[in-house]
Chains A and B, each alone.
Chain A
Amino acid sequence: MDRAAVDTTIRSLIEPFNKKGVEITDATTFAGDLEFDSLTVMDFVAAIEDEFDIIISMNQQAEIENYGQLVDAVAKLSDA
């Protein structure tokens, strides 16, 4: 799947978690801009993992701070 397609899918997955309707750009951060707590992160990650049939381990999550990095990581993981 190419990056644009991954982006589109994740954009729809993030909607129910983006309660304040924050505008999503590649630079949008999960902890800062979206104010995700650890439980929200778990549910959001699970939704992505199920959609793409991948694992995003905690170790990999630690490297992902903003939306763009997430799309890059998922594109790479779903390619493998």
Chain B
Amino acid sequence: MSEGISQPDQPQEVEGGERDLFSKFDDIIALREGLLASGQEDPFSLVMEKVLSPTRAICNGRDTILLGTYNYMGMTFDPDVIEAGKQALDNFGSGTTGSRVLNGTYQGHRECEDALREFYAMDHAMVFSTGYQANLGIISTIAGKGDYIVLDIDSHASIWDGCALGNAEVVPFKHNDIEAMEKRLRRIPEGAGKLVVLEGVYSMLGDIAPLAEMVAVAKKYGAMVLVDEAHSMGFIGEHGRGVCEAAGCIDDVDFIIGTFSKSVGTVGGFCVSNHPKFEIMRLVCRPYVFTASLPPSVVATAATSIRKLMHGSNKRAHLWENSKRLHGGLTQLGFQLGTSEPQSAIVAVIMPDLEKGAAMWEALLTEGLYVNLARPPATPANMTLLRCSLCAEHSVEEVETILGMFERAGKAVGII
């Protein structure tokens, strides 16, 4: 592991050093150096030298079980998906070199949007180059000056950045608090446009939103509703359409945002909607227009994967079993988890502090297990979390192996 980029050429002058634009990062540089000085392996520069399957890789030289990749449905090595990508690479080349609205819409982009429309049974689908850009583009474009965005305080960075890019008034409410959301909607001046932004699954703790109640309240106040289903697509709901499907309120949701980088198993983002004027977004949404479209191989793998996910009910059932077993097993071992019962394919293990969390992360990696280390400011309430995301391809035996690794690592670090 190279630490070259974080080594200054000359000894750093701590006091009296020239202040420049980078001075604002001094605190975070110091925090990182303090952590690494204790001999801790850097949690944020892991390299996967070889990927063997959706659930195994060689990480920093070790054979490792992957439990932190959001590869929920294990589609990354599906033979049909890989074949579709290879064919598109052969027939359409390595990239489009163009915007979706100029030379960057190929047959494959259309087919991918067709697959999404069928998957969600909705009229319109728009594919973005990443999930981040889908939120950035849709939110900043539909909520303009004088409009109000009412959003959960624990929203993903891409949602906050979408708010920051636009000119609407931004009004956050306490996480999953229906009453706090209603109070804010009630106070918005008459006649102002309103957009409520929610997520199906919140990825930090793996908890879900009470969407049936929240969407009903939003509609009562005449707000449009956007739900980010990045962490539920393919898994939650009868057809894998997300928490809003499971909650029975999908017909009242105006926009669903999703990503190809989780269950779908590649990269890209999308928005689906039944709004009759939705297609105009292709011309007015800057993060859609002013960037190159996804490579043909990516949209071909995405379309194939999305179509296979429509028939993924057996895999969904196995993933639920995995989530329940891991959640139950970790609880039994004495770990503190983000939710009292399993609500998604994310199980968040709460660490006492960053030092213990980083030590536990390293102990698990030494055992041969990769999880995500999440730390402030990305986490709610400044928690340090080890986030585990399960895969439908984790076998029953693998989940037991994982629990054994957690037990040994937890005891070694002194957390349980």
Contacts and interface: CB of A to CB of B under 8 A. Distances in A.
Contacts of A58: 163, 169-172
B172 A55 contact: no
B174 to A, nearest CB: 7
A53 B170 CA distance: 17
Interface stretch (A7-15, A16-24, A42-50, A67-75): A42-50
B171 A57 contact: yes
B171 A37 contact: no
A59 interface: yes
Contacts of A38: 377
Contact of A42 (B153, B188, B377): B153
A1 interface: no
Contact of B180 (A37, A46, A54, A57): A46
Contacts of B163: 58
Interface string B371-392: 0000001000110000000000
Given A42-B153, A42-B172, A46-B174, A55 B381 contact: no
Contacts of A46: 173-174, 180
Contacts of A42: 153, 172, 174
A39 B381 CA distance: 7
Interface residues of B, number: 17
A60 B148 CA distance: 13
A57 B169 contact: yes
Nearest to A80: B189
Contacts of B173: 46
Contacts of B377: 38
Contacts of A43: 174
B180 to A, nearest CB: 7
A53 B180 CA distance: 12
Interface string B170-205: 111110000010011001100000000000000000
Nearest to A42: B153
A55 B188 contact: yes
A12 B153 CA distance: 25
Q: Place the interface of chain A in its size category.
A: 10 to 19
A50 B184 CA distance: 9
A53 B189 CA distance: 12
A54 B169 contact: no
A2 to B, nearest CB: 21
B170 A49 contact: no
Interface string B148-160: 1000010000000
A42 B171 CA distance: 10
A53 B182 CA distance: 12
B33 to A, nearest CB: 23
B174 A53 contact: no
A79 to B, nearest CB: 14
A60 B172 CA distance: 12
B172 A53 contact: no
Interface string B46-85: 0000000000000000000000000000000000000000
A50 B183 contact: yes
Given A54-B187, A58-B170, A58-B172, 16 more contacts: A38-B377, A39-B381, A42-B172, A42-B174, A43-B174, A46-B173, A49-B183, A49-B184, A53-B187, A55-B148, A55-B188, A57-B169, A58-B163, A58-B169, A58-B171, A59-B170
Interface of A: 37-39, 42-43, 46, 49-50, 53-55, 57-60
6 contacts: A37-B382, A43-B174, A49-B183, A49-B184, A59-B170, A60-B169
Interface of B: 148, 153, 163, 169-174, 180, 183-184, 187-188, 377, 381-382
